[in-house]
Amino acid sequence: MKRTLKTTVVASAILALTSAGLGAPAAQADDMRRTGSYTVRAGQTIDDDLIVTNGTLRIYGKVDGNVRQVGKGSVIVYSGGKVDGNIEEKSSGGVIVRKGGYVDGNIKETGSGKVVIAGTVDGNVQERGKGKLLVRKTARIDGNVSERGAGKLVVKKGARIDRDDD
């Protein structure tokens, strides 16, 4: 009887600690990680930060979180695609926001890739590497646009950039 009571007490204590979250290991950040190319389909929503390594990320649907691409590959936001978060590309790929694509956040490219904006960005756009930053005539940017590396900045006539005054 003593052994059964002791086992029951220990089991109850473990259950209580686990239920309270004290006995469980610390949860990692809610990141969705993919290696290789990945597509967010039209109608699909990703409710996490999305990290793609060595592949191209094609966004036709919605990402509700930050997007990061590392290694070879690019991030492309197509018409109807939306990112509610920042986009960061860190290597030889690029970031493309096509006409009809929307980013509610900042875009930063720090490698040798290119950034092409033809859609809407509600945030700052930066290219800090050796790549090119091209703002097409259909682009709408509510933020600052800057080339801070050895690359080239081209803004086409008709593009609308509402710079933030700091």
Three-point CA angle 61, 63, 65, nearest 5°: 175
The pLDDT value recorded for residue 150 is 85
Q: Is 156 within the bounds of a domain?
A: yes
The pLDDT value recorded for residue 16 is 44
Q: Is 103 within the bounds of a domain?
A: yes
The pLDDT value recorded for residue 165 is 72
The pLDDT value recorded for residue 84 is 99
Q: Is 128 within the bounds of a domain?
A: yes
The pLDDT value recorded for residue 166 is 59
Q: What pTM did the predictor assign?
A: 0.81
Q: For residues 151 and 87, what is the distance between their CA atoms, to the nearest angstrom?
A: 19
Q: Domain tally for the chain? A: 1
Place of tokens 């990703």: 46
pLDDT tens digits, one per residue of 38-77: 999 999 999 999 999 999 999 999 999 999 999 999 999 9
Q: Is 94 within the bounds of a domain?
A: yes
Q: Is 7 within the bounds of a domain?
A: no
The pLDDT value recorded for residue 93 is 86
Contact between 77 and 94 under an 8 Å Cβ cutoff? The reply is no
Residues (pLDDT < 50) of the chain are 5, 7-28
Q: Is 95 within the bounds of a domain?
A: yes
Q: Is 16 within the bounds of a domain?
A: no
Q: For residues 59 and 42, what is the distance between their CA atoms, to the nearest angstrom?
A: 8
The pLDDT value recorded for residue 3 is 52
**Domain range for residue 103?**
29-161
Q: For residues 58 and 95, what is the distance between their CA atoms, to the nearest angstrom?
A: 10
CA distances in angstroms from 23 to 12, 19, 135, listed in the order given:
12, 8, 52
Q: Is 11 within the bounds of a domain?
A: no
